[in-house]
């Protein structure tokens, strides 16, 4: 009962403070019930091959904005860069995932060499996050618009989570990945997790 109480939903995933989660318990649950299918692992391999290095040589930044800005204080691009500057990323490759055109364009204006994954489409409607398009658009229209099925996009997101789990370092915006990446890892090691725009867990 204590575990369930601590694991209540919050704007950062599970718990008001993810550090209170008992990862020994959650990791047993994840290990028992979470086994990615071949289709997810295929996307994982596609992404790693695109970047062209071992996953342990990736620093992964997940920088959502869109509607998340109304739910939490979201770090600015400069804040992500400030944090990145504290990490020795020589001989590492930076991978950035975002659902926001403006965030991506702002990263491009900075003095930073980074990768994105062209296989993952950005929303056509720049004011709406991608997950809104999932439930507002029919399966057929989604595939016509984005060139992939909804289920494949969800597989892409799981594959990204596995990259975040295995990367050298992962910097994660305040939201659900704040807890589900450590749950997958069974550890908070090498995860830099934002609580809001400047505070870290």
Mean pLDDT by runs of 10 across the 201 residues of the chain is: 82 87 86 92 98 97 81 90 94 95 95 96 78 82 92 95 97 92 92 93 88
**How far, rounded to the nearest angstrom, does the alpha carbon of residue 61 sit from its chain's CA centroid?**
7
- How far is residue 121's CA from residue 52's CA, in Å, rounded to a whole number? 20
How high is the pLDDT of residue 66?
73
How high is the pLDDT of residue 116?
97
Q: Are 61 and 86 in contact (CB under 8 A)?
A: no
- How far is residue 125's CA from residue 130's CA, in Å, rounded to a whole number? 9
Torsion on CA atoms 178, 184, 185, 190, rounded to nearest 10: -30
How high is the pLDDT of residue 77?
96
- How far is residue 154's CA from residue 136's CA, in Å, rounded to a whole number? 15
Phi and psi dihedrals of 29, rounded to 5? -65, -50
How high is the pLDDT of residue 3?
77
CA angle 184–90–103, rounded 5-degree value? 65
């Amino acid at each position: 009962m204590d575990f369930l109480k601590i694991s209540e939903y919050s704007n950062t995933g599970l718990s008001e403070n993810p550090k209170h989660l008992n990862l020994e318990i959650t990791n047993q649950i994840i290990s028992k019930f979470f086994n990615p299918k071949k289709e997810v692992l295929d996307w994982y391999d596609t992404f790693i091959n695109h970047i062209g290095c071992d996953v342990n040589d990736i620093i992964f930044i997940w920088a959502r904005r869109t509607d998340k800005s109304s739910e939490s204080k979201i770090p600015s691009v400069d804040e992500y860069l400030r944090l990145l500057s504290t990490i020795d990323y020589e001989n590492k490759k930076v991978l950035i995932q975002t659902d926001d055109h403006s965030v991506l364009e702002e990263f491009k204006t900075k003095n930073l060499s980074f990768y994105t994954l062209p296989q993952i489409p950005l929303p056509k409607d720049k004011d709406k996050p991608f997950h809104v398009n999932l439930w507002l658009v029919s399966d057929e229209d989604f595939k016509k618009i984005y060139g992939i099925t909804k289920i494949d996009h969800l597989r892409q997101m799981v594959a990204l989570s596995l990259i975040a789990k295995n990367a050298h370092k992962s910097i994660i915006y305040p939201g659900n990945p704040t807890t589900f990446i450590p749950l997958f890892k069974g550890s908070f090691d090498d995860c830099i997790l934002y609580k809001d725009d400047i505070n870290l867990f």
